[in-house]
């Protein structure tokens, strides 16, 4: 996909507004919710709603890739801004730079044993849940009555997978 920056040999970079129309959307959660609600009200057919959901899925993938591509440079910029005492953008969005440590516990024998026990317990719990889902009538197991579970809630969801 060609971008404006690649097509225009007169400049090395494109303006953000040309590349990303998201720059024009509101910057507050309540205004975004109102905008989405109003927009949804204009969509009349189920077909259009479905097509829009597919487009939104594509947009989410695009934004995830875009975020990953620019995060390093944006983080450096934010660190400089913070060092200069700036903690808020022009639009009013607050930001902070967090340092997150990743600990490596793999050298501790007891930690490895506990991790293995947790994984084993998770697998046993999953197997038990699958067994209970298939249970139709109450049974007795080791002198204890085991009653089939009931469905506490059922809902439909829509999963959209884009082609690679």
Per residue in 80-92, pLDDT tens? 999 988 889 888 8
Residue spans of alpha helices (H) in the chain: 4-7, 16-19, 29-42, 46-83, 109-134
Share of the chain above pLDDT 90, in %: 68
What is the distance between the alpha carbons of residues 123 and 103, in angstroms, rounded to a whole number?
A: 25
Residue for token digits 């967090």?
98
Per residue in 101-138, pLDDT tens? 999 999 999 999 999 999 999 999 999 999 999 999 99
| Residue 5 · residue 13 · CB < 8 Å | yes
Q: pTM of the full predicted structure?
A: 0.64
Q: How do the domains of the chain map onto residue ranges?
A: 111-144
């Amino acid at each position: 996909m060609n971008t404006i920056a690649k097509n225009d040999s007169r400049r090395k970079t494109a303006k953000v507004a040309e590349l990303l129309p998201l720059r024009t959307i509101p910057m507050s959660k309540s205004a975004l919710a109102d905008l989405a609600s109003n927009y949804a009200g204009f969509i009349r057919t189920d077909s259009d709603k479905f097509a829009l959901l597919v487009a939104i899925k594509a947009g989410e993938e695009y934004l995830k890739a875009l975020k990953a591509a620019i995060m390093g440079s944006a983080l450096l910029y934010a660190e400089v801004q913070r060092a200069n005492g700036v903690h808020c953008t022009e639009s009013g969005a607050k930001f902070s730079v967090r340092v997150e440590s990743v600990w490596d516990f793999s050298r501790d024998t007891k930690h490895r044993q506990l991790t293995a026990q947790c994984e084993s317990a998770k697998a046993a719990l999953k197997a038990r849940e699958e067994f209970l889902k298939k249970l139709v009538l109450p049974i007795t197991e080791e002198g204890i009555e085991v009653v089939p579970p009931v469905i506490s809630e059922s809902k439909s969801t829509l999963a959209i997978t884009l082609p690679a």
